[in-house]
Amino acid sequence: MSVKSMICIVCPVGCHVSIDDNHTVTGNRCKRGETYAIKEVTNPTRMITSTVKIKSNLTTRLSVKTSEPIAKTLIFEVMDALNSVEMQAPVSTDDVVIKNVLDTGIDILATRTILE
C-alpha cells in the first residue's frame, strides 16, 4: 500500500497528514484535514486571487478572487480570462467581475471597494 504525505493547508496550523490508498488519513488535528487530504488525491482545488484592470481615479488595479476554490488544473486558464477584463469604478467588494468563469459555476468576485 502506498502512503502519501502532505501538509494540510486548510488553516495556518499546517498539520502533517498522511493518506493511504484506502483514503485513511492520519496526522490531522481536525476533520477538515481529512477532507483536505482526500480532496488532494482526488480533485485538488485552489482559491485564485489576482487583479484586473479598472478605470478609476484612485488606482489601476482591482483585486479579485474566485468565489470558491477552483480545479488546480484550471489556474492558468483563469489567469488568461482575467487578462481580458476591464472594470469601471464604482465597484464594491463581492461584485461579480466574471460570471461562471470557464463554465465552472464559479464566479470571479471583487475583493475591494473602489468608489471613484
Partner 1 sequence: MERNEGETMNVDIVVIGGGASGLAAALSAKDETNSVIVLEREHVLGGILNQCIHNGFGLHVFREELTGPEYASRFIEKFHAENIDYKLDTTVLSINKPDDCFIVEAYNNEDGALTIHAKAVILSSGCYERTRGQIKLPGARVAGIMPAGSAQRYLNIDGYLAGKDVFILGSGDIGLIMARRMTLEGAKVHGVAELMPYSNGLTRNIVQCLHDFDIPLYLSHTVTDIKGTKRLEEITIQEVDENYQPIAGTEKKFSVDTLLLSVGLVPDTMVFESMDLTLSPITKGAIVDHTYQSNIPGIFACGNALHVHDLVDWVTIESEKAGASAKRYVAGEIKEERNNLTIEPREGIRYTVPQSIDMNNFKEPVTVMFRVTNKYDVGTFTVKQGDTIIQQKKARFIAPAEMESLMIKPEQLIDQTTPITIELEVK
**Binding stretches for partner 1 (CB under 8 A):** 6-7, 9, 11-16, 46-51, 53, 58-61, 63, 65, 72, 75-76, 79, 93, 111-113
Q: At its nearest, how many Å lie between partner 1 and the CB of residue 97?
A: 13
| DSSP output for the chain | --EEEEE--SSTT--EEEEETT--EES-SSHHHHHHHHHHHH--EE--EEEEEEE-SS-SEEEEEESS-EEGGGHHHHHHHHHT-EEES-B-TT-EEESSGGGSSPPEEE-S-B--
Q: Between 1 and 72, whose beta carbon lies closer to partner 1? A: 72
Q: At its nearest, how many Å lie between partner 1 and the CB of residue 59?
A: 7
Q: Between 24 and 73, whose beta carbon lies closer to partner 1? A: 73
